[in-house]
Amino acid sequence: MTTAFTFAEYEVERTLGTVFGVVVRSIGVARGIGAGLKALAGGEVGQFTALVEDTRRHALDRLIENAQLLGAQGLVGVRFDSSDMGNGLTEVVAYATAVSFRA
């Protein structure tokens, strides 16, 4: 897996397609209020940081699972995207191109 579009040690034989992993999370009302107060005071909001890190890892796990379903041996161009869906919901998407390598 790499954010680059090539692997130095492998030659890509075939592109299998775009794969992704999606996770939608909510911080919850009680934790959201506490985090909102912390945001007003300034500095890092640890509750949000932990949630975002966990959500990205979960999206990456789903990305890998979907790539394995295609028989991928690797992933190139790995990227993340996120969006606020409203009502305290955040979507995180990990996406990449699944590839197989020349033997």
Tell me the domain boundaries of the chain. 12-101
Whole-model pTM: value is 0.81
pLDDT of residue 96: 99
pLDDT at 31: 56
Contacts of 97 by beta carbon, 8 Å cutoff, 6+ apart: 5, 15, 16, 17, 18, 19, 75, 76, 77
Q: Tens of pLDDT along the chain (103 residues)?
A: 999 998 888 999 999 999 999 999 987 654 555 555 555 666 777 778 888 899 999 999 999 999 999 999 999 999 999 999 988 888 999 999 999 999 7
CATH placement of domain 12-101 = 3.30.110.70
Distance (Å, whole) CA 63 – CA 77:
12
Closest alpha carbon to 56 in 97, 4, 94: 94
The pLDDT, as a whole number, for residue 63 is 99
DSSP 3-state of 2 = coil
